[in-house]
Structure 1
Amino acid sequence: MAPLETRIQKRLHVSLYALLFLTALLGLSVVLEGCSDQCETTAEYVYFEPVYMSLEDFRASVEVTGPKAIESMGRIYFKDDYLFISEPGKGIHVIDNHDPRTPNQVKFISIPGNNDLAINGNILFADSFIDLLSFDISDLNNVQLVGRKENAFSVYNNTGLQADPDKGILTSWERKEQHIEIAACDVALQPWGGFYYEDGIAVPHYAAKDFNSMAAIAPGTGSGPGLGGSLARMTLNAGHLYCLDSYLLKTVAIENPANLVAIDSLQLGWDIETIFPYEDKLFVGSRSGMYIIDVSRPTKPDLISTYAHVVSCDPVVVSDGYAYVTLRSNNFNSDVSAFWCTGGVNNQLEVIDISRPERPTLLATYEMTNPHGLGIDDNMLFVCDGDAGLKVYDVTNKLKLDENMLAHHPFVTALDVIPYNNVLMMISEEGLYQYDYSNKKKLKLLSQIPVTQ
């Protein structure tokens, strides 16, 4: 007979194996039960069918007209006392802003699929779905389309769909009276919140009522360039145009506006969304971090470093060795792109030390409500905090911004700003607002152009 100690060890081994086996069975049953529960759980979706325009009709649709009412705000750009505001998917409003107290709408440049713009000298560059356009605006009474680079952009909408050579350009979504009830385990849910279904997309039932078909097809001085907002996806630096396209930073030679030439593509990340120029660098905001790019050789941008953060929407501005970044979590609205802004991050403002661009360092974090764009002039930082309005901070002490708020205007849904020469130009869901900020602690409203619902 084996010694008592040996028999006890064998029994312990058998008991241990039995325990492990039972644990494995229990774990498997939980997994299977979870899968079963998931497959038995259904969700309701609403079907939206794509509406296409032929490539021929699309490229013949550009026209310049008199001023039109602004129905929604996209990007903002300032050049030579004129404001240029894009209306997502429709075109660009031109506003004479020589006197910010009495801005005057003068023209509307109808551009199908437009979202972004940049201006160099007398040439305005604008996207139009998959194409990049150039306009001569030296005479605003006679704006001329002078160049079109076809197929400059690959993906031109939040759902990741591309132009179909047979069907043409996807210009909108048409809601169909077709409700889809489907098991959760049968859904290949996309980052924008819905999924591809038949020839179109399915949107969660709770979001369908406010679904914005135009938002869903959007990509969510003198002789030099003008000033763009912090939400821009294209910008100018060192005589070149830089555009974000899906996961690429594209460099475009613009010496001849009639013949735009793509000369370089730098691969970044799938989630890049904003671009901001500063000195010989570009700062690209993405949903997962900030890229710092050297453009001292303008034709060959070079990635210096990446500052990572949790997944969120991420505009950025830069001044005097510091980057200011707003992080926004998923607060769903009528823009399907809001689904991309998801993750465990709080809504916040980050101050990042970029004195060593190869190693950006987080300096401070401040709680916000739902921050969007931002702008900086000297030591005044303007933050568009969504429904919480416009907030203004003195950033002299980077570690005490929360103790140095200069002003707060809570009665607007602020989206983006351009501060220049003591005039703050701000776009919001309610319209264009302009403020005199020569008195740092008391902004004075100069004018407003409301959005027409």
Structure 2
Amino acid sequence: MKTKLILCFVAICPFFSCDDNYEVVQVATPQLISKTEFRNSVTVQEPHIIQEAGKIYAYKDLIFVGDIDGIHVIDNSIPETPVLVKFIKIPVNEDISVKDDYLYADSATDLLVFDISDINNEVSLVERLEDVFTIYDYNFPEEADEADYSKYNYEEDIIVGWTVATERRKKQDDLMFTDFANNAVESTTGTGGSLARFQIVNDYLYTVGSYEMSIFNISNLSQPVLTNTNYAGWNIETMFQKDNYLYLGSTNGMYIYSLGNPSAPEYISEFTHWESCDPVVVDGDYAYLTLRGGNACGQLESVLEVIDVSDKANPTLASRYTLENPYGLGIKGNMLFVCDGTAGLKLFNKENPLDLSMVKDYNNIQSKDVIPLENSLLMIGGNTLYQYKYLEDDINLISTFQLN
């Protein structure tokens, strides 16, 4: 019996680390295409099925829904019966913003500008600013321990996906991610949800990646100019603008920037919390953050935090409420709408921000993000787009639209 156990151990050793200097790791290798091929792949197509619904954005009578490889355009002129009208194929796209019929979208390292003034007949790409964004870990697989960038050339390649394999490797202290940055008339503006990374304020477009903020002057809408790129903070996920300030939600806190000088936002302060996924919205003297624990988001606890930001230099925790699986949130008047993931949509009366009272709990639906518009509430969740009419302390369903 003892001999058999020894033989079994020897047989296992080639597959697992039997030497303290080695370990078994999940290694992610980037899937690459050339920048030339990548840039030639932007097209405007007829509407087709949505594969994986992402962020939502509203502009006039249009709703934009992010997908794996671009943006679906929905005609919402009749909210009871929305209609898909276009698909703008934009590879490696994270977010969009729209001002006066010009749509701004990131595409990996590039910023694209589309003229959408005639959305039903022609959508045209009018400008591309190349290599203005740094890509750190686009859609990096959660199950991976390390990345193998040995075949990646920052100057020539774009990462469009990943493959993950189990490997036995010698232990090393290198960081998993590599920074490649050193290698290289009244206006109408749309509205994004709390998961947005783009914000337009007057003549400037502000975009945020994991660690960098890029500022573009869009006074000439069809020809934006990159005016600044700054370090923004650690692992930034979302950006919200209110009253001449930017509020950045990161996995370890909230950063506040002043837009006193719009071309160069000034860091004011940060509010630190445990590691979690963190969108933020602001109204008056209070910021509202949802912190989602579990998976890649960090801690197990999930909460809604109310932060007193009356003193921008010294934000402080005012109150905290336990949630189950929170994502995005939004504000309309005295109502705070909180998307609690698989636990549904929760409506809080925030007349007293220090003592929120939940007035409605729609726990039979799935919710990811909301956009409180002037006359209706948009919500996305479970591959469904919901539209609601506001009532006093409640909402009434206008329509549901299946996204796939």
Q: TM-score, normalised by structure 1?
A: 0.76
Which residue is equivalent to 1:416?
A: 369
Residue among 265, 281, 286 paired with 1:322: 286
User: How many Å separate the matches in 2 of 1:274 and 1:128?
Assistant: 17
Confirm whether residue 152 of structure 1 aligns to residue 132 of structure 2: yes
User: How many Å separate the matches in 2 of 1:381 and 1:396?
Assistant: 10
Q: How does 1:12-91 map to 2 (within 5 A)?
A: 39=20, 45=26, 48-88=28-68, 90-91=69-70
- Equivalent residues of 2:233, 2:255 under 8 A apart: no
Confirm whether residue 450 of structure 1 aligns to residue 402 of structure 2: yes
User: How many Å separate the matches in 2 of 1:268 and 1:58?
Assistant: 27
What residue ranges of structure 2 are gaps of 5+ in the alignment? 1-16, 141-146, 178-184
Pair 301,188 (structure 1): closer, same or farther in 2 beyond 3 Å: same
Which protein is richer in helix relative to its size?
Answer: 1
Deviations 1:185-242 (A, max 9, x none): x37697xxxx68xxxxxxxxxxxxxxxxxxxxxxxx9723211110111111121000
Q: How does 1:296-307 map to 2 (within 5 A)?
A: 296-307=260-271
Q: How far is 1:48 from its partner?
A: 4.7
Q: How far is 1:165 from its partner?
A: 4.3
Residue among 338, 345, 361 paired with 2:316: 361
SS of the residue 2:200 aligns to:
strand
Which residue is equivalent to 2:274?
A: 310
Identity of counterpart residues, as a percentage? 41
- Equivalent residues of 2:22, 2:168 under 8 A apart: no
Pair 240,164 (structure 1): closer, same or farther in 2 beyond 3 Å: same
- Equivalent residues of 1:122, 1:223 under 8 A apart: no
- Equivalent residues of 1:64, 1:109 under 8 A apart: yes
SS of the residue 1:399 aligns to:
coil
SS of the residue 2:275 aligns to:
coil
Q: How does 1:8-407 map to 2 (within 5 A)?
A: 39=20, 45=26, 48-88=28-68, 90-140=69-119, 141-155=121-135, 157-159=138-140, 164-165=153-154, 168-174=157-163, 179-180=166-167, 186=171, 223-331=187-295, 339=296, 341-342=297-298, 344=299, 346-401=301-356, 404-407=357-360
User: How many Å separate the matches in 1 of 2:94 and 2:235?
Assistant: 17
User: How many Å separate the matches in 1 of 2:391 and 2:133?
Assistant: 41
Residue among 366, 372, 380 paired with 1:427: 380
Which residue is equivalent to 2:14?
A: none
Pair 407,302 (structure 1): closer, same or farther in 2 beyond 3 Å: same
- Equivalent residues of 1:119, 1:226 under 8 A apart: yes
SS of the residue 1:152 aligns to:
coil
Instruction: Tell which deviates more after alignment, 417-426 or 264-273.
Output: 264-273
SS of the residue 2:301 aligns to:
coil
Structure 1: which amino acid aligns with 2:153? D
Q: How far is 1:44 from its partner?
A: 6.5
What residue ranges of structure 1 are gaps of 5+ in the alignment? 1-35, 197-220, 332-338
Q: How far is 1:440 from its partner?
A: 2.5
Structure 2: which amino acid aligns with 1:349? L
- Equivalent residues of 2:139, 2:161 under 8 A apart: no
Pair 256,164 (structure 1): closer, same or farther in 2 beyond 3 Å: farther
Instruction: Tell which deviates more after alignment, 244-253 or 120-129.
Output: 244-253
Pair 38,257 (structure 1): closer, same or farther in 2 beyond 3 Å: farther
Deviations 1:87-109 (A, max 9, x none): 13x11111111222111111111
Structure 2: which amino acid aligns with 1:173? W
- Equivalent residues of 2:32, 2:152 under 8 A apart: no
Structure 1: which amino acid aligns with 2:370? V
User: How many Å separate the matches in 2 of 1:38 and 1:383?
Assistant: 50
User: How many Å separate the matches in 1 of 2:207 and 2:101?
Assistant: 19
- Equivalent residues of 2:133, 2:214 under 8 A apart: no
User: How many Å separate the matches in 1 of 2:186 and 2:340?
Assistant: 32
User: How many Å separate the matches in 1 of 2:345 and 2:152?
Assistant: 38
Structure 1: which amino acid aligns with 2:112? L
- Equivalent residues of 2:198, 2:239 under 8 A apart: yes
Q: How far is 1:57 from its partner?
A: 1.0
Q: TM-score, normalised by structure 2?
A: 0.85
Pair 371,315 (structure 1): closer, same or farther in 2 beyond 3 Å: same
Runs of 4+ off more than 3 Å: 36-45, 158-163, 178-183, 187-190
Structure 1: which amino acid aligns with 2:318? L
Structure 2: which amino acid aligns with 1:423? S
Pair 371,163 (structure 1): closer, same or farther in 2 beyond 3 Å: farther
User: How many Å separate the matches in 2 of 1:82 and 1:38?
Assistant: 59
Q: How far is 1:257 from its partner?
A: 3.8
Pair 133,406 (structure 1): closer, same or farther in 2 beyond 3 Å: same
User: How many Å separate the matches in 1 of 2:57 and 2:19?
Assistant: 48
Pair 394,58 (structure 1): closer, same or farther in 2 beyond 3 Å: same
Which protein is richer in strand relative to its size?
Answer: 2
User: How many Å separate the matches in 1 of 2:167 and 2:97?
Assistant: 42
